[in-house]
Amino acid sequence: MMPELRVLYFEDLSVGLSETLSKTIAASDVVGFAEITGDRNPIHLSEHFAARTPFGTRIAHGLYTAGLISAVLGTRLPGPGAVYISQSLNFRAPVRIGDTVDVTVEVAELVPERRRARLTCTCSVNGETVLDGEALVKVPTKAESDPLAARKG
């Protein structure tokens, strides 16, 4: 999954604007996340261990799923140039290897004087919410991103 980049400036945003990205979780994603973070909890890495848990099988790290929100924010809505300020997360259900996670980000509020956007974030599998929360991001204006264009126009 390498989403195509789309740049939106603060002026391009409106309440209700949304973007969805889908990602099927591979075993290699979970192993890679464990390697990068050092979180080697066997519930993520050992089928034998995970079989004895309430989940019955290996599950993806919750923060891996949350990281998919970052993919939307950094590539599509608002896209390159956006800066994360904060993120709240509510973990609702496990994500299993092989699940396809649909990540939807929607503009809930705009704060023009600070160039901030409050975004609702939902991750779902087969229509069931597995993670939700809100992000606050700083979004550049066109003038900030291209000072020469601002003088031309």
Spans of all domains in the chain? 10-140
Buried-exposed string 39-60: b where 16+ CB fall within 10 A, e elsewhere: eeeebbbeeeebeeeeeeebbb
CA distance 153 to 148: 9
Q: What is the pLDDT of residue 1?
A: 59
Residue 135 contacts residue 121 (beta carbons within 8 Å): yes
Closest CA to 47 of 97, 7, 4: 97
CA distance 87 to 18: 17
Residue 125 contacts residue 99 (beta carbons within 8 Å): yes
Query: pTM for the whole thing?
Result: 0.90
Q: What is the pLDDT of residue 144?
A: 82
CA distance 115 to 113: 6
Q: What is the pLDDT of residue 59?
A: 97
Closest CA to 92 of 131, 133, 53: 131
Tens digit of pLDDT for each residue in 38-51?
Answer: 999 999 999 999 99
Tens digit of pLDDT for each residue in 39-98?
Answer: 999 999 999 999 999 999 999 999 999 999 999 999 999 999 999 999 999 999 999 999
Residue 9 contacts residue 110 (beta carbons within 8 Å): no
CATH topology of domain 10-140: Thiol Ester Dehydrase; Chain A (3.10.129)
Distance from the first to the final alpha carbon of the chain: 37
Two structure tokens written together for 100: 């396809």
Tens digit of pLDDT for each residue in 111-124?
Answer: 999 999 999 999 99
Q: What is the overall mean pLDDT for the chain?
A: 93
β partners of residue 131:
91, 123
